[in-house]
Chain A
Amino acid sequence: MLMADLLNIEDLHLEFHTYDGVAKVLAGVDLRMQRGDVLGLVGETGCGKSMTALSVPRLIPMPPGKITQGRVTFAGEDILSKSESEMETFRASHLGMIFQDPVTNLNPLFTIREQLVDSVLYQQARGQKVPGRWKGFMPSVRQLRAEAHERAVELMRLTGIPDGDKRIFEYPHQFSGGMRQRVLIAMALAGDPDLLIADEPTTALDVTIQAQILRLIRSLVKQLGLTVLLITHNLGVVARSCERVAVMYSGRVVEESPVRELFKNPKHPYTRGLINAVPQKDVSRGGLIGIPGMIPNLIDPPAGCRFHPRCEQVMDVCRRQVPGATPVGAEHKASCFLYPEDA
């Protein structure tokens, strides 16, 4: 822990004000990442993993969202106290982000060139003014845009899009889903971001394309030394792509560990349930195994540990208190009363 954290999310609480009441979406998320980390964030739908990710670029719609407690710091800078224009500069200089659906995340009315060149220009400008395309009659602007175009083609090559120098003039609808996701990765990487947040980047793709995109992300990590926060509900994706993994349940990180350790030696009952629920090739085991019960209601969550109504090893204390993160092994932490802090 000598290296300073690149990203540090501490005790983050997020609420959403809805007509039915206040949904406590995040209830004390703790997450740290160092430069060079590839961290997988897993959990069921609605457990708050996307909201945790969106809190870094601060793209949670507020209202209705409201951060009631906690801190998010990036390379020592407090993100939550920044103004909106400081955030724009911050996102341009430090962050890259890709999302689930490559079809809706590209603007259908603009060529790949327009979108990539703008990503390059605004990310490299880091909040400085970028001269508009209509100023192209000025030699300096033309030069700037020509360089951005070169960089855009280079990014397409880097992300494995064939014939980038020609295809850059095409529109998104002329690209396949996998190719679009590559374009989005290229846009996210345009300014050499310190952190790439990938929010379910393979969920909307075919299985074969999923594998290609994951391979691409892995090779980019190797080539560029990227720091990646990979959000997914797919444990297989985590196993293949990440070094560390954090498991979320209902607004909290319940277990965090190196990937191998987690699969070999899961500690939290929820993590065990998740790993057991992964379908095996061996059919003789008999059907799918699930975790009994439903994901908790966020408006009126269970008291104490939010997992207790579904937990097979529930104890009295679980119903009253929220467990804190306890070390259960080398770099392995779990938030569960099965592992008392003095153990």
Chain B
Amino acid sequence: MNLRFYLLRRIALIIPTLIGLSILTFSIARLVPGDPVGLAAGPQATEEIKEALRREFGFDQPLPIQYVTYMTGLFRGDWGESLYTRRDVLGDLRTFWPATLELTTVAVIIATLLGVPAGVISAMYRNRMPDHVARVLSLFFVSFPAFWLAMIFQTWFGRDLGMFPINKRLPVLVAPPATTTGLFLIDSLIQLDFETFLVSLKHIFIPSLVLSFSAFASITRITRASMVEALEKDFVRMERAIGIPYRVIIFKYVLRNAFIATITVISLNFGWLMAGAILIETIFDWPGLGLYAVHASLSLDFQPIMGIAILYGIVFSIVNILTDIVYGILDPRIRYG
């Protein structure tokens, strides 16, 4: 029942989760066939050069020792450096990660704002026209490949209508707002720079809209299903029988019952979208973590792979904790303990 104690415990539990995750990622990244050093040093490299690189990155040590070295560095804030660029991984994540976070967050917000009302309408008019429209639309959005829709939207809204820019977070000539969070929308608001805020909003709109489509579909479907289920509950009939207007019953009493399932799907989608942002980031030239991650895994660039895995692990854990807190707010029967 004590929320503070519960939160502390949940946050402490992130650590064993991350250790498990790091062991798994570490093993996978180091045990796959292929020689990262050979890839990094290039085909012309002599055996001595490779050997020097290996020693420098500690690849000559036994695996358990490598792991311990890596983890102690991690907890001290040293996330290692890239084999290729020789850049600090933590610094890279700080540079690229906010762009992805911003894109994903806006996408989830759009998907929720569109998906929940669509699901509610679907449930209210179930098996009638508005329901069919919402169902066909969500099927459409979940089936069409996002990269194809992305290009279509670029062509329509960017080129033909000229309403939205087609790539990047800001125009080349606009300076990014002073970095506080790395999220341009929030940073520009902190600086009270509404012009930059609007420009970056315009930039983020189309990519996050496209990214939101698959989430929109699943949020609509789960909202519809759980609304339909909640509408069958006895208390709905009771509330109607004593004269509470149907509108109030739907939006106040039933929606909260249905929202518990929806919250689960929203938080799952947050994770999926973050992982799936890569395609959208590529098409819209969005300087996010997606490209960085793909490049790192293709070249077996060990430290960035680990860094990204740890970062995503932390994000997932935090999203899970937030979801559990929202459950508790929505449903008084859920106890913390």
By a beta-carbon cutoff of 8 Å, the part of chain A in contact with chain B is 57, 59, 84, 88-93, 95-99, 101, 104-111, 118-119, 122-123, 171, 173, 184, 187-188, 190-191, 197
Contacts and interface: CB of A to CB of B under 8 A. Distances in A.
Contact of A96 (B239, B242, B245): B242
Given A95-B241, A97-B238, A171-B332, 5 more contacts: A88-B243, A91-B242, A105-B238, A108-B331, A108-B332
Contact of B239 (A104, A107, A173): A107
A94 to B, nearest CB: 9
B242 A95 contact: yes
B241 A107 contact: no
Interface of B: 233-235, 237-246, 248, 252-253, 256-257, 330-333
B213 to A, nearest CB: 30
B337 to A, nearest CB: 16
Contacts of B242: 91-92, 95-97, 119, 122-123, 187-188, 190-191
B234 A104 contact: yes
Nearest to B257: A109
B144 to A, nearest CB: 35
Given A110-B253, A171-B333, A173-B332, A105 B243 contact: no
22 contacts: A57-B240, A59-B237, A84-B246, A91-B240, A91-B243, A95-B242, A96-B242, A97-B238, A99-B237, A105-B238, A107-B257, A108-B257, A108-B333, A109-B253, A109-B256, A109-B332, A122-B243, A123-B242, A187-B238, A188-B241, A190-B242, A191-B243
Contacts of A173: 332-333
B238 to A, nearest CB: 4
B251 to A, nearest CB: 10
A41 B158 CA distance: 69
Which one of A89, A118, A173, A190 has the highest number of Cβ atoms from chain B below 10 Å of its Cβ? Answer: A118
Contact of B235 (A57, A97, A104): A104
Contacts of A118: 244, 248, 252
A105 B236 CA distance: 8
B11 to A, nearest CB: 27
B238 A99 contact: yes
Contacts of B257: 107-109
B243 A93 contact: yes
A190 B241 CA distance: 12
Nearest to A89: B243
Given A105-B234, A106-B235, A123 B332 contact: no
Given A109-B332, A171-B332, A171-B333, A101 B241 contact: no
B40 to A, nearest CB: 56
A283 B256 CA distance: 53
Contacts of B239: 107
Contact of A122 (B244, B331, B332): B244
Contacts of B332: 108-109, 111, 171, 173
A187 to B, nearest CB: 6
B97 to A, nearest CB: 36
B245 A184 contact: no
B245 A105 contact: no
A308 to B, nearest CB: 35
A173 to B, nearest CB: 5
Contacts of B238: 97-99, 105-106, 184, 187
Which among B238, B240, B242, B332 has the highest number of chain A CB atoms within 10 Å? B242
Contacts of A88: 240, 243, 245-246
B244 A109 contact: no
Contacts of A107: 235, 239, 253, 257
Contacts of B248: 118, 122
Given A109-B257, A171-B333, A104 B243 contact: no
B243 A109 contact: no
Interface pairs A-B: 4 shortest CB-CB: A92-B243, A97-B241, A104-B234, A91-B243
A244 to B, nearest CB: 23
A91 B244 CA distance: 8
A169 B127 CA distance: 39
Nearest to A108: B333
A118 to B, nearest CB: 6
Nearest to B239: A107
Contacts of B331: 108-109
A83 B268 CA distance: 43
A59 B241 CA distance: 7
Contacts of B246: 84, 88
Contacts of A188: 241-242
Nearest to B246: A88
Nearest to A53: B241
Contacts of A123: 242-243
Contacts of B241: 57, 59, 91, 95, 97, 99, 188, 197
Contact of B234 (A90, A101, A119): A101
A105 B235 contact: yes
Given A59-B240, A104-B234, A109 B330 contact: yes
B186 to A, nearest CB: 26
Contacts of B256: 109-110
A123 to B, nearest CB: 5
A95 B240 CA distance: 10
B237 to A, nearest CB: 6
A230 B330 CA distance: 36
A197 B242 CA distance: 10
A95 to B, nearest CB: 7
B263 to A, nearest CB: 13
A173 B234 CA distance: 15
A31 to B, nearest CB: 18
A111 B333 CA distance: 11
A119 B240 CA distance: 10
Contact of A119 (B237, B244, B245): B244
A95 B252 CA distance: 22
Nearest to B254: A107
A171 to B, nearest CB: 5
Given A97-B238, A171-B332, A104 B244 contact: no
